[in-house]
Amino acid sequence: MHRQPVGSINDSGHLVIGGCDTVELTKQFGTPLIVLDEAVIRESCRLYREAFRKHYPQGQVVYAGKAFLCTAMCRLVEQEGLFLDVVSGGELYTAMKAEFSPEKIFFHGNNKTQEELEAAIQYGVGRIVVDNPYELRLLEPLTKKKKKPIIIHFRVTPGVEAHTHHSIQTGQSDSKFGFSLLDDTLFKEIRNVIRFPRLKLTGLHCHIGSQIFDQKAYQKSIEVMLRLIKNIKVKTGAVVQELNFGGGLGVRYTQDDAPPSIEEHIEIVTKTVRRESTALGLPMPILYDEPGRSIVARAGVTLYTIGSIKEIPKIRKYVSVDGGMSDNPRVALYDAKYESVLANRFKESQTEKVTIAGKCCESGDILQKDVMLPKVKSGDILALFSTGAYHYAMASNYNRLPRPAVVLCKEGKAEVIIRRETYDDLIARDVVPDHLNHKVRIRSR
Ligand SMILES: Cc1ncc(COP(=O)(O)O)c(C=O)c1O
């Protein structure tokens, strides 16, 4: 069974996350505020670990940092025994600043720069997931100074379409990511790598998309990938021992979502790996899974203060909050749906239908359309559930709104893990060129 939203209710009728009264949190830290329940993140990590231990001990969980990353999160993930997937120099830098073990880092990206690759090699990341021939041409000379070979995986698009929003589908052949299987570029490059002693190909990677419920898509992609591993052996002689099936498990945002549990997901995938490997006469590969959303989404709740309320008779009641698409672009991007409550009046019955609007200067900045809440008043606290993944990570300063703070709550204690941006942060990188340094008045004739 999938897991319900986080939180409980206290005697004051307030929403409680990680043992902390959310109304008190807003008084202490302000709003918008992203609250993460540490125990829930740890539980998700544990569920993955245990599922692998039970169904496929030669499996390893690699947290996809793109879902949410900061130095504290790196520490937490490493404590939980997970590896880390990064997709940019910035994520890599964050991990290194958190002293994450470099050999447990996998470096992804469809357009890694020379500088990013140099940094990855210098830090000694565990795997570079090569996305295309251009990247290989950048990599080859960079390996010259290294005594030990650089371990690489090749990312492949297996030609599998997962049922999810088209912007987060990545396994289909028409994708910017990875080597296509529609021509022989992959085989050509594998032959190249075999001749290149400083690069060591150990594995293949695929990622079919995100927020995936349908396990058949995983089964199909595993079949394609294992057949490919066999084909590579036959055609090039290269032995591929590692397979990364790329995360993507969906989570519950509303009651209409019914994803499989983490254990069901791992059981289905690993059974397919066993069955297909046996059928193809392949040894069982070392498996990597790269979940992001299913590790951290459920742990997060965003708290907003409600401000203006506009009722258009017989049409709609707009309730505006002090954040919006700047801290949650998912609605505008994917038409994402959520559940919410009034954190300060959690016990009261939901009697009116409202639309939650953000404060950005865009008509499209709507967080929830037509949701039921108790009769809303300005000053109420709105809690939007399941905002731990792809929220802070995708936040922007649109309209020069400072990004919210993130607090980690555990057993009634709340600690800031990302401080709230200030207006001074917003202008900290602004530069005024000399010719604009004095206020020059243009005279009107
Ligand atoms: C390469 C890669 N790995 C892992 C993930 C994690 O996916 P999710 O957060 O849906 O588990 C993504 C996300 O899109 C990705 O692009």
Q: What is the CATH number of domain 108-291?
A: 3.20.20.10
- Go through 142-164 and write b for each residue having 16 or more CB atoms within 10 A of its CB, e for each that does not: bbeeeeeebbbbbbbbbbbbbeb
280: three-class secondary structure by DSSP: helix
- Find how far residue 365's CA is from the centre of its chain: 22
- Find how far residue 262's CA is from the centre of its chain: 16
Q: What is the CATH number of domain 8-36+298-427?
A: 2.40.37.10
Q: What is the pLDDT of residue 213?
A: 95
Sign of torsion, CA 185 60 239 129?
positive
How far apart (Å, rounded) are the C-alpha atoms in residues 250 and 324? 23
* 238-279 pLDDT per residue, tens: 999 999 999 999 999 999 999 999 999 999 999 999 999 999
Q: What is the pLDDT of residue 151?
A: 97
Ligand 1 atom closest to Cα of 293?
Answer: 9
Identify which of 45, 63, 66, 330 to mutate to test ligand 1's pocket (most ligand atoms within 8 A of the CB): 66
Ranges of CATH 2.40.37.10 domains, the chain: 8-36+298-427
Identify which of 153, 176, 210, 214 to mutate to test ligand 1's pocket (most ligand atoms within 8 A of the CB): 210
How far apart (Å, rounded) are the C-alpha atoms in residues 357 and 371? 12
Its pTM surpasses 0.85: yes
Pocket of ligand 1 (CB under 6 A): 64, 66-67, 85, 108, 207, 210, 246-249, 290-294
Q: How far is the CA of 373 from the centre of ligand 1 (A)?
A: 33
Ranges of CATH 3.20.20.10 domains, the chain: 108-291
How far apart (Å, rounded) are the C-alpha atoms in residues 324 and 355? 12
* pLDDT band for position 299 (cuts 50, 70, 90): very high
pLDDT at 2 over 60: no
Q: How far is the CA of 291 from the centre of ligand 1 (A)?
A: 6
% of the chain at pLDDT higher than 70: 96
Q: How far is the CA of 75 from the centre of ligand 1 (A)?
A: 20
